[in-house]
Chain A
């Protein structure tokens, strides 16, 4: 079996295993897995409204996935996508609300603010990693909580004691009447194009720019990159900043497209953590991320249909997603299994 085929098969098998174990969980808990998965399917593809909402849900997942994947390529594990997304969300909501500008300036400015906020949130762990060798995983986890509490406090300040910011101006909105009407008045917005454009940007940086070459080199082998004259420190900081910017834009999808404001939160959105799964499933490539995000975005949105249509708690999908991450993490053993099967076939 060729390596390439195995690389495609490992995530596929992980997805199938995740869905299978999810079915077993449903069976054991006394639910009907067939009805459950049919409800899930209808929740994703049932009508044009559902399809619109599904695509809408996919956009932040693409950006969260890009953020994790980009850092991964430089050998960094950015668990802080969640926090970077939250600050990006707030920055976009604030800029969208507070300024009055023509659309051609306002919307890009709001997007830029989100990217900058996320980049700043990535800059701190990047700097600490590059200069003091502090492990980025712990710092980004801590930064997530700081983001959550800080943004909650800022919302209260901006809303003068209230729990949500005012709606953004129309000039900063990603909302689209055309897309909305096309999909039976869903909340589908232009964000998906922003996300897909960023997919292209990531591909361009990694495959067509000197910067990308250096980033990947540092990811492959820090010492070799250093010996070749690249600045490892600079590349680590750059990787975290760009990764944070992607995540911040993910927040902008929620601020400028889906919700149009931001409310105080008791806990995390979960999009950032699911981004880890998206990136892993997509093998950290831009195109792979699109597939991963489509899968998880669909599962997350489709799950909303499960309590009504099949009377199954929505959390079953979170279980399935967690299982898929788990199986992708165990890719080594799947790989070994596949190679063994391949060898047996050759022997015959």
Chain B
């Protein structure tokens, strides 16, 4: 039994570390889609965040010292929020197909990031950062037997922030007037409009929030996992966050749960060789697990209990 516990002590912290960026990004997706705007561009926004986070960290490490990773996350948030404006303008004001616009954002994100990296560093990837996101031991909680070492010892500060953001997002979406407006705009924009809610303004805000959060997710991933930026840094994390959002039924806490699960699946995939009874499972099954599970979940128990009603429809005043 103690062997099993050792495995958990080993794998749970890795899972949480992998989950944190997904939590940020998936909650970003929740904001956007709750307002009725599909955001497949999460991947591109995350790439942008990772790129800005790393480059900012490299350039300003002398100025900000130990605070550098945090300021980098902030910078990534700002840049990705601005970048997401493109998606907002296209899909809200210009009535573009939101999926196509999202695809363009994905392609553009990676293209701009790689173009800039080559321009600045003259090669395909950046240097490694010196100041990473610090790990903390949470006082008192870390002394709890069994759970303490699993969840509260040497956790990345960003993971704590991710959980806090998830709870905050739940509060905003379900307990504040803004959240009520956000949801109403995504379910029935015409009804919301008649009640005097500015549909398009709410949607703009929602998409920009999603951009900011995806940027944070990207910066967190890059500054905890890879510590540099190259073409394969993000490689599908944004799509996995999208899956986590759907898996979590467009609910912040649900999305967090799904992200934790996907984090666990990724942790299993990379560390299965170190776990006795899993050595014989080919790692490919663990790699495809999150994706296969998403498909099964969509086909099975989530099925039609689907997203916001007006998802994907631009709001055109006066039309029925």
- Within 8 Å by CB of B104, from A138, A143, A316, A329, lies A329
State A146–B112 Cα separation when bound (angstroms).
27
30 contacts between A and B (CB under 8 A): A25-B115, A30-B119, A77-B99, A128-B299, A132-B299, A134-B298, A135-B306, A137-B99, A138-B294, A141-B239, A141-B242, A145-B291, A146-B292, A150-B284, A150-B288, A266-B232, A273-B103, A273-B106, A313-B115, A313-B118, A313-B119, A318-B114, A319-B108, A319-B115, A322-B104, A322-B108, A322-B111, A326-B105, A329-B101, A329-B104
CB of B294 within 8 A of CB of A328, answer no
CB of A326 within 8 A of CB of B291, answer no
Is B82 an interface residue when CB atoms closer than 8 A count as contact? Answer: no
Interfacial chain B residues near A29, Cβ < 8 Å: 115-116, 119
CB of B236 within 8 A of CB of A145, answer yes
Is A315 an interface residue when CB atoms closer than 8 A count as contact? Answer: yes
Main secondary structure on chain A at its contact with chain B? helix
Interfacial chain B residues near A124, Cβ < 8 Å: 295
State A145–B295 Cα separation when bound (angstroms).
12
Interfacial chain A residues near B299, Cβ < 8 Å: 128, 132, 134
A61 to chain B minimum Cβ distance, whole angstroms, is 15
CB of B111 within 8 A of CB of A276, answer no
Chain A CB within 10 A, most for which of B119, B232, B292: B119
- Within 8 Å by CB of B288, from A25, A138, A145, A318, lies A145
Is B172 an interface residue when CB atoms closer than 8 A count as contact? Answer: no
CB of A267 within 8 A of CB of B298, answer no
Interfacial chain B residues near A145, Cβ < 8 Å: 236, 239, 288, 291
Is B275 an interface residue when CB atoms closer than 8 A count as contact? Answer: no
Is A133 an interface residue when CB atoms closer than 8 A count as contact? Answer: yes
User: Chain B, 301-317, contact with A by CB distance < 8 Å: what is the 0/1 string?
Assistant: 00110100000000000
Interface residues of B in 237-251 (CB under 8 A from A): 239, 242-243, 246
Interfacial chain A residues near B112, Cβ < 8 Å: 315, 319
Is B81 an interface residue when CB atoms closer than 8 A count as contact? Answer: no
Is A330 an interface residue when CB atoms closer than 8 A count as contact? Answer: yes
Interface residues of A in 77-128 (CB under 8 A from B): 77, 79, 124, 128
Is B65 an interface residue when CB atoms closer than 8 A count as contact? Answer: no
CB of A326 within 8 A of CB of B104, answer yes
Q: Which residue from chain A places its CB closest to the CB of B235 in the assembled complex?
A: A267
Interfacial chain B residues near A153, Cβ < 8 Å: 282-284
State A133–B236 Cα separation when bound (angstroms).
24
- Within 8 Å by CB of B298, from A79, A139, A313, A315, lies A139
A87 to chain B minimum Cβ distance, whole angstroms, is 13
Interface residues of B in 263-290 (CB under 8 A from A): 282-284, 287-288
Interfacial chain A residues near B118, Cβ < 8 Å: 313, 315
Is A149 an interface residue when CB atoms closer than 8 A count as contact? Answer: yes
Interfacial chain B residues near A25, Cβ < 8 Å: 115
A80 to chain B minimum Cβ distance, whole angstroms, is 11
Interface residues of A in 270-317 (CB under 8 A from B): 273, 276, 280, 313, 315-316
Q: Which residues of chain A have a CB within 8 Å of any CB of chain B?
A: 25, 29-30, 77, 79, 124, 128, 132-135, 137-139, 141-143, 145-146, 149-150, 152-153, 266-267, 273, 276, 280, 313, 315-316, 318-319, 321-323, 325-326, 328-333
- Within 8 Å by CB of B96, from A133, A267, A329, lies A329
CB of A325 within 8 A of CB of B231, answer no
Interfacial chain A residues near B12, Cβ < 8 Å: none
State A168–B106 Cα separation when bound (angstroms).
34
A96 to chain B minimum Cβ distance, whole angstroms, is 23
Interfacial chain A residues near B292, Cβ < 8 Å: 142, 146
CB of A318 within 8 A of CB of B111, answer yes
State A134–B111 Cα separation when bound (angstroms).
31
Interfacial chain B residues near A313, Cβ < 8 Å: 114-115, 118-119
- Within 8 Å by CB of B101, from A77, A139, A152, A326, lies A326
State A79–B295 Cα separation when bound (angstroms).
15
CB of B119 within 8 A of CB of A325, answer no
Is B165 an interface residue when CB atoms closer than 8 A count as contact? Answer: no
Q: Which residue from chain B places its CB closest to the CB of A153 in the assembled complex?
A: B284
CB of A328 within 8 A of CB of B100, answer yes
State A109–B239 Cα separation when bound (angstroms).
35
Is B94 an interface residue when CB atoms closer than 8 A count as contact? Answer: yes
CB of B232 within 8 A of CB of A267, answer yes
Q: Which residue from chain B places its CB closest to the CB of A30 in the assembled complex?
A: B119
Is B40 an interface residue when CB atoms closer than 8 A count as contact? Answer: yes
State A308–B40 Cα separation when bound (angstroms).
35
CB of B235 within 8 A of CB of A138, answer no
Interfacial chain A residues near B96, Cβ < 8 Å: 329-332
State A150–B161 Cα separation when bound (angstroms).
35
Interfacial chain B residues near A142, Cβ < 8 Å: 239, 243, 291-292, 294-295
Interface residues of B in 212-246 (CB under 8 A from A): 231-232, 235-236, 239, 242-243, 246
B176 to chain A minimum Cβ distance, whole angstroms, is 29
CB of A326 within 8 A of CB of B114, answer no
CB of A326 within 8 A of CB of B90, answer yes
Interfacial chain A residues near B110, Cβ < 8 Å: 318
B187 to chain A minimum Cβ distance, whole angstroms, is 18
State A133–B295 Cα separation when bound (angstroms).
12
Is B95 an interface residue when CB atoms closer than 8 A count as contact? Answer: yes
